[in-house]
Chain A
Amino acid sequence: GAGVSQSPRYKVTKRGQDVALRCDPISGHVSLYWYRQALGQGPEFLTYFNYEAQQDKSGLPNDRFSAERPEGSISTLTIQRTEQRDSAMYRCASSLSTPSSYNSPLHFGNGTRLTVT
């Protein structure tokens, strides 16, 4: 596709339920990132993949959050036992090559708006 695609666009779930958010990066992009954006704030880093390898997960808030990218393309961010404080916009981004390359800015998707009731 032309850009980073995320689904669903909106997700409302009840507290305690698990949710899975999907990201389809720009075709051919090696690196994939997850960010979380609270209302009125800028995005905050969650995790980073280089191909299928999760290189950095230091931004994941706790062990209820996990992410995978098994074939080096589509990625899934899973939140188990959701809590109201998990409500936010979850954004995926991809870049053509590794972050050290000058010509690899992050291109963000439209995000998934998660609401936990």
Chain B
Amino acid sequence: AQKVTQAQTEISVVEKEDVTLDCVYETRDTTYYLFWYKQPPSGELVFLIRRNSFDEQNEISGRYSWNFQKSTSSFNFTITASQVVDSAVYFCALSSGGSNYKLTFGKGTLLTVNP
């Protein structure tokens, strides 16, 4: 069975602070994909990143960075110099290689960035 745990239910920071959102996953598959999605207050679900299990290189995109560590089954997401527009619910998700359209989502982390 697959499982994604986002232990942080809510995080509140002040603008310009760095913040890391944790994601721990469980799967028996050796081939799998990991995702992060953003759900702003308007309700849409915005794709941020997808990584496969064979690529452990960390990735940086502007103020966003992702740290994938197979040894600890974690795929953490860091926002540097947070902004008010970053306020949203962030979901981590997992799918296995055989049926990678079946995303298993975590419960999400509500990030509030205060001015």
Contact = CB atoms under 8 A, between A and B. Distances in A.
Interface of A: 3, 31, 33, 35, 40-45, 48, 56, 59, 89, 91, 93, 95, 99-100, 102, 105-111
Contact of B105 (A44, A89, A107): A44
A40 B89 CA distance: 10
Interface of B: 4, 35, 37, 42-47, 50, 52, 91, 93, 99-103, 105-108
B44 A106 contact: no
Nearest to A31: B101
Question: Interface of chain B, helix or strand or loop or mixed?
Answer: loop
B109 to A, nearest CB: 11
Contacts of B93: 42
Given A105-B35, A108-B44, A110-B43, A42 B107 contact: yes
A43 B103 contact: yes
B50 A41 contact: no
Contact of A106 (B4, B47, B107, B108): B47
A91 B99 contact: no
B103 A106 contact: yes
Given A41-B107, A42-B105, A43-B105, A107 B47 contact: yes
A56 B52 CA distance: 22
13 contacts: A41-B107, A43-B91, A43-B105, A48-B102, A56-B99, A59-B102, A93-B45, A99-B100, A102-B52, A108-B44, A108-B46, A108-B47, A111-B43
A43 B107 contact: no
Contacts of A95: 101
A63 to B, nearest CB: 20
Contacts of B52: 102
Contacts of A44: 105
A91 B107 contact: no
Contacts of A107: 47
Contacts of A42: 4, 91, 93, 105-108
A54 B4 CA distance: 27
Contacts of A41: 105, 107-108
